[in-house]
Structure 1
Amino acid sequence: MSLIPSFFSGRRSNVFDPFSLDVWDPLKDFPFSNSSPSASFPRENPAFVSTRVDWKETPEAHVFKADLPGLKKEEVKVEVEDDRVLQISGERSVEKEDKNDEWHRVERSSGKFLRRFRLPENAKMDKVKASMENGVLTVTVPKEEIKKAEVKSIEISG
C-alpha cells in the first residue's frame, strides 16, 4: 500500500522517477477521432514535417544546413528549378508496429518534408553541391562574382 495517493488511477507511476508519470489527458474521453495524443500512434509528427533549415551567406556561397537525424542520403532529395528555386525533400517512414508491443512514449518524428528557397540573382545554379554527414545535410550554392560598375571619369572642358 502506497503512502502517496495516486491521481493517475490504474497508470504506472513512481514518485521518484519523473519520466514514469503519465500526464493527465483532459481530451482522452472526448468523441473526436485522434483528438488525443494517447488515442493512437501518430502517423506524422509536425516537428519533422517542418524541418528546420539554416541559411547563411558567405562571401563565396549560400550555405544551407538541415538536421535530418536517422535519414540516409538515399532518402533525401535536393533539386534546383529553372526559376532559381532550391528544393529539399524526403521522408522518414513510420516504424512498423507489432500488435504485441505497448508504446509508452512516441517522440521521434516521421512523415514527409519539403522546403523550398528562392535563391538570389547571384547564385550559380549549375554549381550546386550537397553532402550529408552525421544526419546533417549541407547544400552549398556558389555565388557569381559581382562585377562592380566601371566608373569612367569624364574630363570637363572649358
Structure 2
Amino acid sequence: MTTLWNDRNGGFAALTAEVDRLVNGLARPAAGAWSYGLAPAADVLETEAGYRVVLDLPGLEPAALKIDIENDTLSVQAERKQPVLAGGETVHRSERSFGTFFRSFRLPKTVDGSRVEARYEGGVLTVELPKREEAKPRTISVQVK
C-alpha cells in the first residue's frame, strides 16, 4: 500500500490508504482467476483477407483448448489447472492465475466458417477467420470504348 502524504491527524492518510486498498483490490484478479476477469487478453484484427483473433494463453497444453464456431460466434475456452504441491512445499505467494475461462466473439456475416484455422505457439492462440470470397474487396476495371 502506498500513502502519498500524511497529515497531522492521519485523517487524509487513512482515507488515502482505504482508497488504495479498494483500488488495488479491484485491479488484481481474484485468487485462482484469469487476469481481466476470468478471461485472457485478446486482440481482434481485420485484413482484406479476413479477421484474426489473438489471445494470450500461457501455460496451457494445446489439447486443453476448445474452439467452436456456432451461429456466427467464435467461442474459446480452456482450463489451467493449479499445480499439485510436492511434499514439504509451502506456498508463500501465488499470483499466477488458474481456473476455467470462456471468451466469445460475435463474427460478421462475411466470415467463411468452413475455412477457419487455429494455431497455438509460445502461449499465444491465433485464430484466422477468412472472409467469404464475395465479401473480399475487388477491383473492377473499366473499359473505355
Q: TM-score, normalised by structure 1?
A: 0.62
- Does residue 135 of structure 1 match 2:135? no
3-state DSSP class of the match of 2:35?
helix
Cα separation, partners in 2 of 1:79 and 1:147, compared to 1, 3 Å: closer
Counterpart selection for 1:61 from 50, 74, 78: 50
96 and 141 in structure 1: CA distance in 2 versus 1, 3 angstrom threshold: same
**Structure 1 residues 135 and 46, CA gap change in structure 2 (3 angstroms):** closer
* Cα offsets for 1:59-84 (capped at 9, x unmatched): 10110001111111101111111x11
Shift of 1:146: 2.5
% same residue: 35
Change (3 A) 1:136 1:46: closer
Residue 95 of structure 2 aligns to which amino acid in structure 1? E
TM-score, normalized by length of structure 2?
0.67
Local SS of the residue matching 1:107: coil
Cα RMSD between the aligned structures?
Answer: 2.0
Question: Are 1:78 and 2:47 counterparts?
Answer: no
Q: CA deviation at 1:95?
A: 1.3
Runs of 5+ unmatched residues, structure 1: 1-25, 27-41, 149-158
Structure 2 vs 1, CA of residues 47 and 74 (structure 1 numbering), >3 Å: closer, same or farther?
same
Cα deviation code 1:56-115 (max 9, x no counterpart): 11110110001111111101111111x111000000001113463221210111000100
The 2-side partners of 1:102 and 1:125 are apart by 47
- The residue number in structure 1 matching 2:110 is 122
Q: Number of residue pairs matched?
A: 106
Give runs of aligned pairs for residues 97-108 of structure 1, distance below 5 A.
Answer: 97-98=85-86, 100-108=88-96
Structure 2 unaligned residues grouped into runs of 5+? 1-17, 19-30, 138-145
Give the superposition deviation at 1:52.
1.3
Bigger radius of gyration, 1 or 2?
1
Cα distance in 2, alignment partners of residues 143 and 110 from structure 1: 34
1:94 maps to 2:102: no
> Deviation of residue 133 (structure 1)?
0.7
Superposition misfits of 4+ residues, deviation over 6 angstroms: none
